[in-house]
Structure 1
């Protein structure tokens, strides 16, 4: 009976907080806030790639060679560049005719104002001389191989291709170890990113209601644990709405991205198969509950925005350390550090999501969920008691001697 009353009180507070958060125009802006982040990221990457591309377009590698060798060198260069997946992996080749003083000509080319020359090759192909800038190590190695392959082509009768390979693309029907490791890392990163972005709103809500004296009114009407659990559920409801909205959009991503990118996404595989999305949502729930419970405690103890910022920074640093802990567990599934990450309550949701991608065994997830739910209850209870003793300046209610002795009298009468 007492549990049912506390549950109704908790759900009442949760419904109140959920309605107050979702039924506002600002929640729509919050729901679309990732678009702003994506937009800033696209603009930043375009600016960076434009700046980097402008510098790469001016770079050149130069070969000083006689005109009768130029065609052979260009043909070998074209074949060597097929090895690179990116056409611009090495700067463009420029052929220069030899002058009267070839070494001085090579040094002058490195100081050219027309192009950014990173490396210059001159001399006979069996004993070539290569000058390069300090940053042109890879270009120097490339020119070494260019001289070697050109010399081989000359001695074998030309640079034309002697073989024609038949390449067939084969997709794997089974989950690969690399694909599982990548899926494990992205699962931990996804839960971390969502909790980092969504759990912080609990701090502001609690601090605002504390400054407005609303939390004291609620604490006077119902148990403080019900208030904290209710606020936790209300904040989670709005977070779950956010996750469902963006999860639906991301699920449609393979249909609109290029085929090559969709194939790369298809390489991400999980050991537990179709049940993985459900486990991801459950572990996100546990991670959110744990982090939000801590933030609720911070918000209840902080009286000003400055105090909130000062207390939130160490918690954020702690969250990043938990991500590093779980990321290591994702890449080293059989290590003792992975087991430790799965047991430690605040890294357990991230590490167990990675575990679901790496291992098909399901029973550890049931144990982990019970363990995490226990720590959610412990964290909320501790936060509520800290708030009661530190803010409300009251301890747990004490029973009087008469209240203690009354049940024995009643038992005697009956």
Structure 2
């Protein structure tokens, strides 16, 4: 194992130096202008997909009769504006404390309507109350229609913290991290394919295979491309931060994740590395089997489309943490990095990340091992080999020997 790692580092240093000091690397650093545009488009599509999960929910702490009247008013309004256009409601007991409901974890509400329909009180954070006050006033007016209750304005109470608002903010952070991770992985992992095909065409791979173990070649090339990717990401991130600081004096408008920014960034680096090596090890195995660029494109297209579907599945599971879709996305190797980076934005538990990283690295080793075996059997074979006679042929030979 030590010899394989030593040879892998030699291969990685060779490839990394050749890539970094090439003229095409400058063009590679300029390339992310297109992914930025694609990222904006993907973000807008993600916002449309998240309409249901990001819809504000108001807790209702009214008497049972008034709660039913408010729910009936909402149903009437849904018939005209549609389900997405109306604030969702969640019923609680009349005596519930609004501040306690907002502080309770896992409720998903960002404001609470309490008091009565005659004197309603809307409790929540300042921005949430301003956003919901008009919608709640409309619902209350519809619920009071046909009654003798006078029209009164809703009183508001402002609180400092709201777990529902915090939950939705962290949900946005998780989705944004998923999009960035996916775009970087798809942009950079495909370069492993062309690298492997070029060396097969130039017969360099045969020289390397004669000098070092094939496992070291695969692992070294993967390490070199990963290191090159980190260099590119460091340049792009520094440029983006400097540009933002020059154009805007305000801090980045991104809600803080549950694990905190330092640990979240470290987990982001780890999950990019695992996502890249998972897809890169698959691509390097394909590149080792293909003999032309056309074959590479033909074989890699289904994998790329499958990875897009896997990303959408991981994005679907973001707001279902702890449920079956999220657990399946976290367990499946190729969707696990995307699901776990979203979990880091919403939960401060660290042990699941340790297990997830170990699980993903195990699958990287398995995929590399399968690729090496296929490469040895299909590419490095020197001839058709000796054909072993079948059972019927051996029986005929035995009969002939008995006759003679």
TM-score (norm 2): 0.62
Q: Corresponding residue for 1:250? A: 240
Equivalent residue number for residue 340 of structure 1: 328
- Are 1:221 and 2:200 matched, yes or no? no
- Kindly indicate whether the alpha-carbon contact (under 8 Å) linking 1:185 and 1:331 is maintained by their aligned counterparts in 2: no
Match of 1:363 in 2: 351
Cα contact 2:39–2:183 (8 A) shared by 1:
no
Give the equivalent residue in structure 2 for 1:5: 3
The 1:38/1:287 distance shift into structure 2, 3 A limit, reads closer
Distance 2:230 2:295 in 1: 28
- 2:265 counterpart of 1:272: no
> 1:195, CA displacement in angstroms?
0.6
- 8 Å CA contact 1:329–1:354 kept in 2: the answer is no
Post-superposition offset of 1:250 = 3.3
Cα distance, 1:173 vs. partner? 9.1
- CA deviations on 1:165-208 (whole Å, 9 max, x unpaired) are xx999986987111111111111111110010000000000001
Offset at residue 33 of structure 1 (A): 1.1
Q: Any unmatched runs of 5+ in structure 1?
A: 43-162, 396-414
Q: Is the 8 A contact 1:286 1:373 kept in 2?
A: yes
Asked which structure has the greater CA Rg, the reply is 1
1:191 matched to 2:188? The reply is: no
- For structure 2, the 5+ residue unaligned runs are 41-152, 384-404
What root-mean-square deviation, in Å, do the aligned CA atoms of Structure 1 and Structure 2 show?
A: 3.0
Alignment counterpart, residue 300 of structure 2, candidates 305, 312, 325: 312
Partner of 2:283: 295
Paired with 1:332 and 1:387, the residues of 2 have a C-alpha distance of 41
Shift of the 231–169 alpha-carbon distance from structure 1 to 2, 3 Å rule, reads farther
Judged with a 3 Å threshold, the aligned counterparts in structure 2 of structure 1 residues 40 and 271 are, in CA distance, closer, same or farther, namely closer
2:258·2:347 contact (CA, 8 Å) conserved in 1?
yes
Indicate the residue corresponding to 1:62 in structure 2: none
Normalising by structure 1, we get a TM-score of 0.60
Pairing of 1:201-240 with structure 2 (within 5 A): 201-240=191-230
Q: Quote the offset at 1:35 in angstroms.
A: 3.1
Q: Structure 2 vs 1, CA of residues 253 and 26 (structure 1 numbering), >3 Å: closer, same or farther? A: same
Change (3 A) 1:221 1:379: same
Corresponding residue pairs, total: 271
